[in-house]
Amino acid sequence: MVILAIAVPVPLRKTFYYTHTKPLALGVRVEVVFASRALVGVVVDCMDLLADIALEQHGEPSKFKPIGTVLDDVPIFSQSWLSLLHWLANYYQHPIGEVIQTALPNALRKAQSSQPIPISTIALVPSLAALNIQGNDITQTVPFINLKRAQRQFALACYVAAKTQDEDVDGVAKDEIKQHFSTSLINNLIRKEVLIESHQYLRSGCWHDQKGVEHFANISGLPANVEQSIAITGICAQLNQFGCFLIEGITGSGKTEVYLQVINKVLQQRQQVLILVPEIGLTPQTVSRFESRFGIQVGVLHSGLTDKERLTVWHQARLNHIGIVIGTRSAIFTPLPELGMIIIDEEHDDSFKQQDGLRYHARDLAIMLAQKQGIPIVLGTATPVLETLHRAMTGKFQHFKLEQRAGDAAVAPVHLIDICQQPLQFGLAPATLDVMQTHLSQGNQVLLFINRRGYAPAVVCSSCGHVEDCVACDKPMTYHKAQSRMVCHQCLAHVIAPHQCGACGATDLITQGIGTEQLEQGLGELFPQYSTIRIDSDSMRGKHTLSNTIEAINQRQHQILLGTQILAKGHHFSHVTCVVIMDVDGALFSADFRAPEKLAQLITQISGRAGRADKPGETFLQTTQPGHPLLQDLVNNGYGHFARFALHEREQATLPPFTYQVVLRAEDEIPQRAIQLLEFARHLLTNMKNISTLGPMPCLIEKKQTRHRYMLIIQSPYRDLRQKVLDAIIDDYAHYANKSRIRWSIDVDNIDFN
Ligand SMILES: [Zn+2]
Ligand SMILES: [Zn+2]
């Protein structure tokens, strides 16, 4: 008999002991009973019961329950992944059982087999398939002619014939066909011996066996300019060893071409590549760019997949059936046995940091993974975060700059428009309307950025001044006119838009401020001859809406594009020559020291979406603070200069990356209770050398869903010391916090104070 240490998905910072009749490999999933619930845990340690140490440490073996079913023959996690997960749990001070659960694909969090699921495919029967592949008109064959009276059956047979011929495949996934035709229709044609069904396990064999080494050696990229060549040569000279590379490349400077050329070298070595991208940047165009260059299937992981689809990619990656995986944050957990390189595109993007549960940063985890595996990691962006830039400037990362745009396109100049005491129409100043008119009448497109969805951010009573607040958050609710609703953008609660003031009953309610919905309406009035398209999360619901809209924009079906954050990421609009950013002032006076950095990134990213070689763009910022040093620096010298100056300021103020922060948050309906908990932490940390605390104080989002939110900022100039101190206090703190039943969290290397 052996004792197993099992990581169980519960919020407790330890593993639990169970017994089993024989040793199990570490990383295998097992069913266990925990507090009379059946849970799926993972074996993290296995010891011989007879060993003295085991007995001494864990007491009588009779105390431990036996495990239930063993779910895997082969461990889900390799040894190196298990140790990485232990590192994650330690570094982010998160319970190991929950860390391991985060790393599992959803489908494997349940007691489900980890054997690959057979994929059901439908094909034409062999005799018809042969004719079809030879390019004969299959509809003229007897079986098809016989079907012509049954329209749907005929359509289905034609669908399968066309699919297998166009894509040169043996069959079509049944799930895919079921999106268009019913199961009974499919079964009918199987009975009539027109179609056959087969169950396939994943394609066997490695991805590179199908292509051979010459295939990749013969792929030639676009001609690289001098800067690109330096980066490509530099990275390729250091494959098969750990190294971090930052590619600081202005938009349009050809970062992706650098990625593609170094990826090709890695594929030639028969190694796999993992590419992480921001959620919004993962479009079908991105994926097809990789697929068409390399002629191999690319595994894609994003939040829109079903558990089954996600698991399939997980299997394909793990069995080395695919060479490239592109995905968003959690794709970092994909098992890639032959991993040879990691690329993080748009490394500045906040979506790489998980903001609940295990608050890990995928970039930082990727760096640890690369180090463990002894492989290179490439970070690319036009606007590196100051933490990354600092590491590059101090030599921890190798730094490549791409400052030339392809085809010598000029970088869009940025201009400020002073909106002080200007008569605004729908938030737009006369000067802004003039430049828009100029660009539009030249047949170009204009892009307006406004960071507020809905019609208006507040509804106010003009009799008594009462503002319609969210009762749970104490914040004004946003008026969404199209749905006649008031929505709280913090907690998403909504009510029917009122006709009367909630305080005095008066009916003269007015809206305050401008949101996308109102601006869209306004632009229709101001520029009736041009078509305006609104792009925000309200208007872009549905799977293909966004990519269809972008397509329509590039075909110039719309002249004015208006939208939120979605516009800032990834998409390029070559007919846009004028970018207007409506309101930049909020970030200039934020309590978050990162707000100016984020604003500068946003402005640079949005400006970069516009123009091309023969049609340079320009960007206009509306502000009441045209003299503000940050804006002046950004406008005159660009992000690179701004960021280096901002780093200098951070150093003066001893802020990250020159110090290491942790934020403890506590939320409760009674503010005093949250404060008390944080006071307890502060007390544990008093008189510790080189550790300072700030707070307890309200978070930037002070109240959400009836809970008052407070934080304690802990910082130290030494990362190791911070770790040691957290290790020392976390058990006491967690114990106290769990006992008091207050909602709390710990956020190591936080990126905001919300
Ligand atoms: Zn009123
Ligand atoms: Zn709310």
Whether residue 377 has pLDDT greater than 80 = yes
Q: Closest-lying ligand to the alpha carbon of 462?
A: 1
Whole-number Å distance between alpha carbons of 665 and 318: 37
Q: Closest-lying ligand to the alpha carbon of 472?
A: 2
Residues in the chain: 754
Secondary structure of 676-729 in the HEC alphabet? HHHHHHHHHCCCCCCCEEEEEEEEEEEEECCEEEEEEEEEECCHHHHHHHHHHH
Stretch 418-443: mean pLDDT: 94
CA of 100 to the centre of ligand 2 (A): 32
Q: Closest-lying ligand to the alpha carbon of 466?
A: 1
CATH number 3.40.50.300 given to 216-408 = yes
Q: Closest-lying ligand to the alpha carbon of 478?
A: 2
pLDDT digits (tens, 9 = 90+) for 133-156: 777 788 888 888 888 888 888 889
CA of 453 to the centre of ligand 1 (A): 25
CA of 455 to the centre of ligand 1 (A): 20
CA of 461 to the centre of ligand 2 (A): 20
Asked if 402 and 248 count as a contact pair (C-beta separation under 8 A), the reply is yes
Whole-number Å distance between alpha carbons of 694 and 47: 44
Q: Closest-lying ligand to the alpha carbon of 468?
A: 1
Name the phi and psi angles at 566, rounded to 5.
-50, -35
Whole-number Å distance between alpha carbons of 649 and 638: 17
CA of 500 to the centre of ligand 1 (A): 8
Q: Closest-lying ligand to the alpha carbon of 505?
A: 1
| Beta strands 272-276 and 339-345, pairing class | parallel
- Please tell me the CATH code under which domain 2-109 is placed: 3.40.1440.60
pLDDT for 700: 93
Q: Evaluate whether 216-408 and 414-452+514-649 have a shared fold.
A: yes
CA of 469 to the centre of ligand 1 (A): 13
Q: Closest-lying ligand to the alpha carbon of 705?
A: 2
Give the residue from 40, 42, 35, 24 showing the smallest Cα distance to 81.
Answer: 42
pLDDT digits (tens, 9 = 90+) for 322-346: 999 999 999 999 999 999 999 999 9
Q: What is the mean pLDDT of the chain?
A: 89
Q: Using pLDDT thresholds of 50, 70 and 90, give the confidence band for residue 350.
A: very high
In the chain, the percentage of residues whose pLDDT exceeds 90 is 61
pLDDT for 570: 64
pLDDT digits (tens, 9 = 90+) for 549-587: 888 888 889 999 998 887 777 677 888 999 999 888 878
CA of 630 to the centre of ligand 1 (A): 40
Q: Closest-lying ligand to the alpha carbon of 707?
A: 2
pLDDT digits (tens, 9 = 90+) for 292-316: 898 888 999 988 888 888 998 999 8
Q: Closest-lying ligand to the alpha carbon of 475?
A: 2
Q: Which residue has the higher pLDDT, 231 or 119?
A: 231
Asked if 753 and 591 count as a contact pair (C-beta separation under 8 A), the reply is yes
Whole-number Å distance between alpha carbons of 275 and 341: 9
pLDDT digits (tens, 9 = 90+) for 581-636: 988 887 888 889 999 999 999 999 888 887 766 777 899 999 999 999 889 999 99
State the DSSP code for 253.
S
Tokens of 612: 């091309």
CATH number 1.10.3720.10 given to 414-452+514-649 = no
Give the SS3 label for residue 217: helix
Secondary structure of 614-680 in the HEC alphabet? CECCEEEEEECCCCCHHHHHHHHHHHHHHHHHHHHHHHHCCCCCCCEEEEEEEEECCHHHHHHHHHH
Give the range among 58-62, 119-123, 361-365 with minimum mean pLDDT: 58-62
| Annotation: CATH topology of 660-748 | Alpha-Beta Plaits (3.30.70)
CA of 606 to the centre of ligand 2 (A): 29
pLDDT digits (tens, 9 = 90+) for 257-287: 999 999 999 999 999 999 999 987 677 778 8
- What single string gives the DSSP state of each residue in 271-297? -EEEEE--GGG--HHHHHHHHHHH-S-
Q: Which residue has the higher pLDDT, 247 or 549?
A: 247
CA of 499 to the centre of ligand 1 (A): 11
Q: pTM for the whole thing?
A: 0.86
Domain edges within the chain: 2-109, 119-200, 216-408, 414-452+514-649, 660-748
